[in-house]
Amino acid sequence: MPARRQLSFDDLGTPLAEATLVVVDLETTGTDPAADAITEIGAVKVRGGEVLGEFRTFVDPQRPIPAYIASLTGITEATVAGAPTIDVVLPMFLDFAAGAALVAHNARFDVGFLRAQAAACELTWPGPAVIDTLALARRVFGRDEVRDHRLSTLARHVEAAITPDHRALSDARATVDVLHALIARLGPAGASTLEDLASAHRRASPVQLRKKHLAETVPSVPGVYQFLDAQGAVLYVGTSRNLRSRVRTYFTAAERRRKVLDMLPRAESVRVIECATATEAAVRELRLIAREKPPSNRHGLHPETAHWLRLGPGSQGLRAARLAKGEDDGSAQIGPLTSRHDAEPLRGLLTEAVMGPAARFDAARSSALSGGHRDRVRKAMTEDPDEVLAHVAARLRARTEAGRYEEAEGLRRLAATYLTAARRASRLRALAAVPLLITARPSTEAVIGGRGWELLAVRHGRFSGTTLVAAGKDPVPFARSLAMTGLGEAELAAPLCQGYHQEAEILLAWLEGDGVRTVLVEGSWRVPARARFEEDALARRFAATATPSRA
């Protein structure tokens, strides 16, 4: 998996015309999510003003329905008799709403009940974006327009096609019309994305309003942006496919990150670097952060800092290392590790898996390994984890059968750390060994004449160049031109991409995407097999240790 890094391309904002919204309304036995239950769910899925589907079901609350609630909604105990219970209904609703933002009138009530019921059913709450039409209406419709902001009042005001009647689907349908009226009013005010809409009821801070002019000259192109102080020092670096759209969000109420809000008072200008592709922008962002070390960026400040578990040459054993070295002498390393504290537990795991439980204590006194054991450890680090997984699976089985579940979970996490470190190293090792690799894949960027190809050049795991080629054109001449660029990157190459592994993992994610084709290559390149070092391999090994049940 790519190394963790600051979010940039994932937080651009979803245009409202492309956003899927599920407008939901609930009927319940009361107002307390902890004590009351849902009796009906109604929902309408919409996108771009078009209704995509509807969801409606009664729910057996498995408790009495108060008389006043029955009188208000018309839902009696007889109505819900035979209806499915919430543990059946809620997974169906979550599937219906998957990937969508939730919209409700007084969303705190409806979403509060859904979250509480998900917890009671031991279901993971997906954490969707939530839009509250009540909060938006209070901002959009003043008391000079409407006497209150109840759903029934708003539905009449916007001339909704459906009159709300305290039944879930009818109220959800009416809320759809209210929502569309709100969007029509907020759009001219700048609410063009889902994120804008979700935060439109809040107000930007005085500093954000005062600094808003900094976004005015930013172009609508992909690239990297830098916030600068009065002396020209870099305060913060980020990336976007649309620089203008992204930078504008820093001056809206949608921006609530403390590090950004603390940075904005010092910001005096925004500098941009236009890039051909999102991949180029992501790499340039990492390099700028490493070089400038902006105070408001946290991840990526020190790419040269890494932690490895290294098997030394000759009779040397396993030890923690801060620098990846060449492996031509028979040494090997796995990593980078998430924490330096992972090295010693991993050392014990590998040593015990190969040499037996007693070796774990011997390893604490001496790092030496005999030839045979050393070869097996190196194989487990670079080629095949089977011996380690067999050892872990047997220990997991013994612990779970003895009821020692916390110990078993700790062992499983350690095995996962080993697999992740070995998988990362195998991918970095393979890419670092290639002097030049130029590949192409269908472009997600706009190309003259429509869609085309994005070409990427990599030298020893370092970004060397990129270009876009229109559909129908031969990419080979463009690839040859790319081969003449970035020659200096080869001079910065290091074993296992030491010092630039975050950049290499961005490139690896690109190379493992759909539709990638190799155009030019010096040396040999093969996408490393990942399945051997995935957690599924441990799951299969553990399953194989189960004792067949007796007839």
- Residues 352-393: pLDDT tens digits? 999 887 665 554 444 567 768 899 999 999 999 999 999 999
pLDDT of residue 4: 33
pLDDT, average across residues 123-132: 90
Model confidence band, residue 209 (pLDDT cutoffs 50, 70, 90): confident
Please indicate whether residue 100 or residue 190 has the higher confidence score (pLDDT): 100
Residue 12 has pLDDT above 50, yes or no: no
Q: Specify the range with the lowest mean pLDDT, choosing from 83-92, 132-141, 353-362, 411-420.
A: 353-362
- For residue 363, what pLDDT is reported? 47
Contacts of 300 (CB under 8 A, 6+ apart): 5, 6, 285, 286, 289, 290, 502
pLDDT band of 414, cuts 50, 70, 90: very high
Q: Are 62 and 44 in contact (CB under 8 A)?
A: no
Is residue 195 pLDDT above 90, yes or no?
Answer: no
Over the chain, what is the mean pLDDT? 88
Q: Specify whether the CB–CB gap between 389 and 537 falls below 8 A.
A: yes
pLDDT of residue 447 exceeding 80, the answer is no
57 pLDDT band (50/70/90 cuts)? very high
CA distances from 470 to 443, 453, 517 (A): 9, 6, 16
Residues 6 or more apart whose Cβ sits within 8 Å of residue 450: 470, 471
| Beta strand spans in 199-268 (E) | 223-228, 234-240
pLDDT digits 0-9 by tens, 448-486: 556 789 999 999 999 999 999 988 888 889 999 999 999
Q: In this structure, what are the phi and psi dihedrals at residue 443, rounded to the nearest 5 degrees?
A: -80, 140
Q: Has residue 416 got a pLDDT over 90?
A: yes
d(CA 453, CA 450): 10
539-551 tens-digit pLDDT: 899 999 887 654 3
**Secondary structure letter of residue 33 according to DSSP:** T
Q: What is the pLDDT of residue 13?
A: 58
* Residue 6, pLDDT score: 37
Residue 448 has what pLDDT? 54
Residues 6 or more apart whose Cβ sits within 8 Å of residue 69: 28, 29, 30, 39, 75
The length of the chain in residues reads: 551
Tell me the helices (H) and strands (E) count for the chain, helix number first: 20, 15
Using CA atoms, how far residue 165 sits from 73, 74, 478, in Å, is: 8, 10, 64
Nearest to 498 by CA among 260, 321, 344: 321
**Coil, strand, or helix at residue 218?**
coil
**Interior/surface letters 477-487, b for 16+ CB within 10 angstroms, e for the rest:** ebbeebbeebe
Average pLDDT over residues 55-60: 97
Q: What is the mean pLDDT of residues 314-340?
A: 91
The pLDDT value recorded for residue 531 is 60
Average pLDDT over residues 433-461: 85
> 264-298: per-residue pLDDT in tens?
999 999 999 999 898 999 999 999 999 999 999 98
Q: What residue spans of 264-404 are helical by DSSP H?
A: 278-292, 343-355, 357-365, 371-382, 386-401
Contact between residue 324 and residue 496 where contact means Cβ atoms under 8 Å apart: yes
- Which band of pLDDT confidence, cut at 50, 70 and 90, is reported for residue 258? confident
State the average pLDDT over residues 72-90.
94
pLDDT of residue 446: 60
Judged by DSSP in three states, 238 sits in strand
Amino acid 15: pLDDT: 80
d(CA 548, CA 290): 55
- Domains in the chain, CATH or no CATH each: 20-192 (3.30.420.10), 206-292 (3.40.1440.10), 308-427 (no CATH), 435-523 (no CATH)
DSSP states along 151-198: HHHHHHHTT-SS---S-HHHHHHHHHHHHHHHHHHHGGGT--BHHHHH
- Residue 86 has a pLDDT of 96
* Cα(342)–Cα(321) distance, integer angstroms: 11
Quick one: pLDDT at residue 360?
54
Decide: 475 and 252 in contact? Cβ < 8 Å: no
Q: Residue type at 307?
A: H
* One-letter identity of residue 268: E
Question: pLDDT class for 104, splitting at 50, 70, 90?
Answer: very high
pLDDT value, residue 79: 95
State the pLDDT confidence band at 529, using cuts at 50, 70 and 90: low
The H-assigned helical ranges of 370-492 are 371-382, 386-401, 405-432, 475-482
231 pLDDT more than 90:
yes
pLDDT at 433 exceeding the cut of 90: yes
